[in-house]
């Protein structure tokens, strides 16, 4: 009886931990949701995953191009952020930033599985940029050092047509 109770308790604990760990992870689905839904819905989804609003940054002098950031675990190696890029309040891209190579690798594998094809890569300064493309969607992965000795992985999903409107 005690052994059965312990097995049941262990199973419930394992399921709970697995569910919580999976719910914490950000995936391509989160990027795509952020790109295709209003910020209010994206924010609700992020808050449910434990993120908090951090800031809105103007990306240019017109104050029309903005980056709205949400963070989780801001003080340690488990740092994770999600940014929504808007131009005149229209979403054109989303970015996940992590300091964990394994999280970056999981996202990259997911992207390849979904049929994104390698477009190319280049280095700029100390950063490596790799682009993948599928239809009107582009994934850009930026890998580079932080000022405090970590490696940062940025995975961005952008709508190509909307991005051209912003930067042309």
Q: Are residues 129 and 122 in contact, defined by beta-carbon separation less than 8 angstroms?
A: yes
Give the pLDDT confidence score for residue 24 in this predicted structure.
58
Burial label for 27, CB within 10 Å (0-12, 13-18, 19+), is middle
Alpha-carbon gap, residue 66 to 43, rounded angstroms: 15
The residues spanned by each domain of the chain are: 2-167
What does the pLDDT look like over 139-164, one tens digit per residue? Answer: 999 999 998 899 999 999 999 988 88
Q: Looking at residues 121-137, what average pLDDT do you find?
A: 97
Mean of per-residue pLDDT scores for the chain: 83
What percent of the chain has pLDDT above 90?
62
What does the pLDDT look like over 45-84, one tens digit per residue? Answer: 999 999 999 999 887 777 678 889 999 987 778 889 999 9
């Amino acid at each position: 009886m005690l052994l059965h109770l312990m097995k049941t308790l262990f199973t419930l604990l394992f399921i709970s931990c697995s569910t919580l760990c999976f719910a914490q992870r950000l995936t391509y689905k989160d990027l795509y949701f952020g790109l295709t839904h209003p910020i209010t819905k994206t924010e609700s989804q992020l808050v449910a995953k434990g993120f908090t609003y951090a800031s809105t940054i103007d990306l240019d002098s017109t104050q029309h191009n903005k980056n709205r950031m949400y963070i989780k675990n801001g003080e340690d190696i488990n740092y994770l952020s999600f940014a929504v890029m808007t131009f005149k309040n229209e979403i054109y891209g989303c970015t996940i930033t992590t300091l964990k190579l394994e999280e970056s690798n999981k996202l990259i594998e997911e992207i390849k599985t979904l049929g994104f094809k390698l477009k190319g890569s280049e280095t700029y300064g100390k950063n490596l940029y790799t682009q993948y493309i599928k239809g009107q969607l582009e994934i850009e992965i930026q890998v580079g050092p932080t000022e405090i000795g970590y490696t940062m992985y940025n995975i961005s999903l952008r709508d190509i047509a909307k991005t051209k409107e912003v930067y042309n």
